[in-house]
Structure 1
Amino acid sequence: MLLAVLVASLASATPAPVASAAPGLEPLRRAYGAAVGRVALWRRAREREDAPPFGHLATSQVGYAPRMQKRFTSPRPFTSFEVVRESDGAVAFRGGPPVRAVGTDLLGATRTVWIGDFSPLAEPGRYRVVLDGGLASHPFGVGREVFDPAVRAVQRWFYYQRAFTAVEAPWAEGPWTHPSDAAKAPPGVRKGWHDAGDFSIYNAPLATALFWMLAAYDDFAPSDDATHVPESGNGAPDLLDEARWGLEWLVSVQDAATGGFASTTCQDRYARYGENTHASVPPYRAGEVGTLATARAVGTLAFAAAVFDRRDPGFAARCLAAARRGYAYLEARPGEASDGPSCPAYRRDGDAEVGRHVRMYAAAGMLRATGERRFAADFERASIASWADPDYHHVAAFAARLYLRAPAGDPARKQALRERFRALAQEVRVAADAHPFELAARYQWGSISAALHRAGASSAWACVDAGGRGEDCDRALAPIHYALGRNYLQLCYVTGLPGVTRGVRRVFHHWLATLRAEPPVFPGALAGGPNPRPDPRDVSYPQARPRPIWGYFGDPAFPRDDATPIEGRYTENDSWSTNETAADWQGAALYGLHLAQWLARRADAP
């Protein structure tokens, strides 16, 4: 991630018809490169893929459970609408005027939108919404199993991102394969996931993804052992098998001498974009040990020990032993917030606030796993007075959730934490009511993930703790519906889902760009989403070889400028600032989809 400088430096090369060592021919080389670029721009403009925004009613393109709230957003007012069955054109539901109108400055010239509700429709089937004026939605499904393919695909993303192993048939289920790069790992390092479109493995996003995966099992206990990964059929849920792949990397990067954990397994030397494979990259470098990475690893491994204890006591004991050694490393370095310089995309060396967040998380995890009261005292010493949305640095919300699930936690402290979560859930309700797609949004790099984290760490937990009932469940599902199509561009931001009319087909991704497969991306990848401030370096290089690079700026297939509405600041190309994919984003999406699946399968689900 954050590969702006890398992309800019590697994309600038142009093809040369003569040896570049001949300085007198340099003008010819440059002229040739410019001509190649002009041809690429002309061809790209003829292939324009950017559909008019808000050309349909905005609904999820995947669909809804029978008893789930079902809403759409319209760019124009209406007096009535119909929900029409796709198979025979029959009207399955008739609705009246909007339930409300929402003013907005996110959609350019569209300053007001209108919200329709068709929640009473419960008959399983495939439908579309049609207004009295003729404007219609893309088709979507209604059924108890409607989220199953999305859960499977988003979870299998982690298989495709596995490090230090081959991704191969039959489990790849398509052309997205590569040989093992295990021989390039530092001594003793194994498994883990390539973080994003690059090859490095980072402690911060990997630990965040693992938190969401472990929380999904903790809250919903999914049992699917047939998602077609190599471990399928072994009697353990595939979700836990995949989580174990990430946990094994954490254990493998623990320093034998000190008990601390490394921040990364680093790959920072790349060829041009479109020329990098697992076979071609140089050996990886081991990252440095520090307290920030160690505290994240301790909290995650302790959480894993609690989750795995009932299914695999031996692995749980191994996780807890590693966590205890890591905790001793932290205790020997009170107040330190160290983070090494290798592959520094996530580095926060010296950041005392992040240091408190992660120590709070480590203490909560150990309290959950062991029941030892000393960890409750450490939780209080590290505690952040006021915290909000979690991310890969700010994990106090994760810590609070673990504390609430720890039997040895102080009842009064638990009550205060519950009140904080209730306040955050109320903030989500207020923000969602003011948004055109009823989303509690955070517009930034990775905006869809930010919304998933915000609702996931407030509304979703309120929904779960209430037994799957209440308004918080609707708010928790809003970012899922948004990611699956209820948005300004009418895009499903997850690749390769069945039944989707208009979905993302490309993401920024080094080895997929080199593979040139069709489809270009494996199923289940969540794109970053609209970014109000795309990086100015995220530009197009039409003259680049072996293939043109189409960034956020300068792509004639997706023209964008300062006048583009915030909700439209996304391009489905090689844009790393709007269209990369990342482990922590996938983790939050996977938790949200498991919540949706859990609600859909409940007989009394809202």
Structure 2
Amino acid sequence: AGDYNKYIVNSAYSIGLMQAIYARFPDYFIRQRVNIPESGNHTPDLLDEMYYNLKWMLTMQDPADGGVYHKLTTPSFEGFIKPTECKQPRYVVQKSVTAALDYAAALAQASALFAPYEEDYPGFSEVALQAAERAYAWAEAHPQALYHQDLLNKQYQPAVVTGAYGDRSADDEFFWAASELYLATGKPAYREQVKKHLPTAYKTPSWGNTTALGVFAWLQPGREYQGEDVELANAMKDLLLDYAAEAVRGADRSPFHAPYGNDAKDFFWGCLAEGCANQATSLVCAYLLTGEKSYLTNAYRNMDYILGKNATGYCYVTGFGMKSPLYPHHRLSASDDIEAPLPGFLVGGPNPGQQDGVAYASNLPDESYADVEGSYASNEIAINWSAALVALVSSLDALMSK
């Protein structure tokens, strides 16, 4: 997020979302060259970037039993200083079932995507799949090992007060991980796990509910199914299309002609990513399945909302538009001795919870935004929110380029 710690749950979710979009538009990403050091190799640049994170994730697995540590963190957040100035010790903290499952899902997914690029990443595809299967086996053996930071702090010192990424249930993570592993290996045991954890409704993607990533895996273009798998894939499709139909209902009559932003419940911590952008990405998937243009139209409308067609008039992406965030809650931007923030980041967005204690100009849900450094509740940067922006912008650009 806006700090320097590393969290497996959020990291794996972010990777999973971007890899899902890569799998949906592989030809588009193969053509992309974004001037990174690896741009001259044979691997698409997005996968090169994913590898940078996946390589770190592999270090978070316990080689003894396959479990995955929840996070690598300082006990408390560092100040708004450069990374080289951070002096607190960092701790590897507790293995958890959600960390293991998110890890398993992202690495199983990566094993398939990296398989054609052995020349650049020899052996990685096999290593990733083995690590994924070991993590899933650990999760099956420890299904109740949820991360409870408060309980942990009662047992150990120093107390850890950084982002918890806790969860009340691992059902959605089991579904996503089992889906990716079944589709990567074809092993019937994983299909049985998919059926055991089959969702009853599609939920907008978020680190706290990864159901959608499992659905995306089943609905990936080019997959062919037989027998029982056809029924499972059709069930996933029905869940997504029910969601999409409900999402666009009434959008034409809404103030900003978008499916997002018409209810006070649309505004919460990280809403622009986990509500607006990810809803639009889901609508793009529905469009690809059906050809129904209203789904694509409404995905563009949500993009318009992010870019400034909203109650505050802000383009919520740093460095773009005439009115965009100048003071995000982001330590790299604050400490780099450059006045302007790093460009291209999506901030969290309006949040009537206002949990940070800074002064907000309005208490109205869609205007509860403060462009100040201290507003972590509305103006923070996070990798999962950046992943949501990448997923949506890439999806729309890929469709426009066809």
Deviation track 1:538-586 (CA, whole Å, cap 9, x = no partner) reads: 22xxxxxxxxxxxxx1xxxxx5244xx3222112111111100111111
- Higher Cα Rg: structure 1 or 2? 1
| Aligned with residue 328 of structure 2, among 507, 510, 522 | 507
Greater strand fraction, Structure 1 or Structure 2: 1
Q: 2:67·2:135 contact (CA, 8 Å) conserved in 1?
A: yes
What is the identity, as a one-letter code, of the residue corresponding to 1:228? N
- Tell me how far apart the structure 2 counterparts of residues 255 and 582 of structure 1 sit (CA, whole Å): 26
Q: 1:295·1:362 contact (CA, 8 Å) conserved in 2?
A: yes
- Tell me how far apart the structure 1 counterparts of residues 288 and 357 of structure 2 sit (CA, whole Å): 40
- Tell me how far apart the structure 2 counterparts of residues 428 and 382 of structure 1 sit (CA, whole Å): 24
CA gap 1:431/1:283 in 2 versus in 1, 3 angstroms: farther
Residue 212 of structure 1 corresponds to which residue in structure 2? 17
CA gap 1:509/1:329 in 2 versus in 1, 3 angstroms: same
- Tell me how far apart the structure 2 counterparts of residues 431 and 370 of structure 1 sit (CA, whole Å): 42
| Aligned with residue 163 of structure 2, among 336, 342, 345 | 345
Deviation track 1:286-313 (CA, whole Å, cap 9, x = no partner) reads: 1211211001110111111122222337
What is the identity, as a one-letter code, of the residue corresponding to 1:205? N
- Tell me how far apart the structure 1 counterparts of residues 77 and 8 of structure 2 sit (CA, whole Å): 21
Q: 1:527·1:581 contact (CA, 8 Å) conserved in 2?
A: yes
Residue 407 of structure 1 and its aligned partner are, at CA, apart by 4.6
| Aligned with residue 344 of structure 2, among 524, 532, 544 | 524
- Tell me how far apart the structure 1 counterparts of residues 276 and 389 of structure 2 sit (CA, whole Å): 10
Bigger relative contact order, structure 1 or 2 (CA pairs below 8 A, ≥6 apart): 1
With normalisation by structure 2, the TM-score equals 0.87
Task: Kindly indicate whether residue 130 of structure 2 is the aligned counterpart of residue 325 of structure 1.
Answer: no
Unpaired segments of 5 or more residues in structure 2? 150-159
- Tell me how far apart the structure 2 counterparts of residues 524 and 245 of structure 1 sit (CA, whole Å): 19
- Tell me how far apart the structure 2 counterparts of residues 286 and 270 of structure 1 sit (CA, whole Å): 15
Q: 2:104·2:132 contact (CA, 8 Å) conserved in 1?
A: yes
Deviation track 1:505-549 (CA, whole Å, cap 9, x = no partner) reads: 220112432333132x111111111112211x422xxxxxxxxxx
- Tell me how far apart the structure 1 counterparts of residues 44 and 161 of structure 2 sit (CA, whole Å): 33
| Aligned with residue 125 of structure 2, among 287, 306, 316 | 316
Task: Kindly indicate whether residue 286 of structure 2 is the aligned counterpart of residue 462 of structure 1.
Answer: yes
Deviation track 1:249-283 (CA, whole Å, cap 9, x = no partner) reads: 21110101110111111123345x44454333323
| Aligned with residue 380 of structure 1, among 195, 204, 218 | 195
- Secondary structure in 2 aligned to 1:265? strand
Quote the RMSD (CA, aligned, Å): 2.1
Unpaired segments of 5 or more residues in structure 1? 1-195, 540-552, 554-558
Residue 323 of structure 1 and its aligned partner are, at CA, apart by 0.5
Residue 601 of structure 1 corresponds to which residue in structure 2? 401
Task: Kindly indicate whether residue 402 of structure 2 is the aligned counterpart of residue 587 of structure 1.
Answer: no
Q: 1:431·1:440 contact (CA, 8 Å) conserved in 2?
A: no
CA gap 1:241/1:340 in 2 versus in 1, 3 angstroms: farther
- Secondary structure in 2 aligned to 1:293? helix
- Tell me how far apart the structure 1 counterparts of residues 300 and 182 of structure 2 sit (CA, whole Å): 30
| Aligned with residue 475 of structure 1, among 298, 304, 308 | 298
Task: Give the number of equivalent residue pairs.
Answer: 376
- Tell me how far apart the structure 2 counterparts of residues 431 and 321 of structure 1 sit (CA, whole Å): 47
Residue 235 of structure 1 and its aligned partner are, at CA, apart by 2.5
For residues 183-582 of structure 1, the aligned pairs below 5 Å read 196-221=1-26, 222-224=29-31, 226-270=33-77, 273-275=79-81, 277-312=83-118, 314-333=123-142, 335-339=143-147, 341=149, 342=160, 345-348=163-166, 351=168, 354-405=169-220, 407=224, 410-430=229-249, 432-437=251-256, 438-441=258-261, 442-449=266-273, 450-457=275-282, 459-466=283-290, 470-497=293-320, 500-519=321-340, 521-535=341-355, 537-539=356-358, 553=359, 560-562=361-363, 565-574=364-373, 575-582=375-382
Q: 1:219·1:464 contact (CA, 8 Å) conserved in 2?
A: no
Q: 1:538·1:576 contact (CA, 8 Å) conserved in 2?
A: no
- Secondary structure in 1 aligned to 2:62? coil
Residue 461 of structure 1 and its aligned partner are, at CA, apart by 0.7
- Secondary structure in 1 aligned to 2:123? helix
Q: 1:367·1:403 contact (CA, 8 Å) conserved in 2?
A: no
Residue 155 of structure 2 corresponds to which residue in structure 1? none
CA gap 1:439/1:515 in 2 versus in 1, 3 angstroms: same
CA gap 1:328/1:274 in 2 versus in 1, 3 angstroms: closer
- Tell me how far apart the structure 1 counterparts of residues 81 and 395 of structure 2 sit (CA, whole Å): 39
- Tell me how far apart the structure 1 counterparts of residues 76 and 332 of structure 2 sit (CA, whole Å): 14
Residue 173 of structure 1 corresponds to which residue in structure 2? none
Residue 154 of structure 2 corresponds to which residue in structure 1? none
- Tell me how far apart the structure 1 counterparts of residues 117 and 376 of structure 2 sit (CA, whole Å): 39
What is the identity, as a one-letter code, of the residue corresponding to 2:398? W
- Tell me how far apart the structure 2 counterparts of residues 431 and 584 of structure 1 sit (CA, whole Å): 28
For residues 136-147 of structure 1, the aligned pairs below 5 Å read none
Q: 2:75·2:161 contact (CA, 8 Å) conserved in 1?
A: yes
- Secondary structure in 1 aligned to 2:296? helix
CA gap 1:228/1:416 in 2 versus in 1, 3 angstroms: same
CA gap 1:252/1:456 in 2 versus in 1, 3 angstroms: same
Q: 1:306·1:368 contact (CA, 8 Å) conserved in 2?
A: no
Q: 1:270·1:281 contact (CA, 8 Å) conserved in 2?
A: no
With normalisation by structure 1, the TM-score equals 0.59
- Tell me how far apart the structure 2 counterparts of residues 431 and 252 of structure 1 sit (CA, whole Å): 47
- Tell me how far apart the structure 2 counterparts of residues 502 and 477 of structure 1 sit (CA, whole Å): 20
Q: 2:136·2:177 contact (CA, 8 Å) conserved in 1?
A: yes
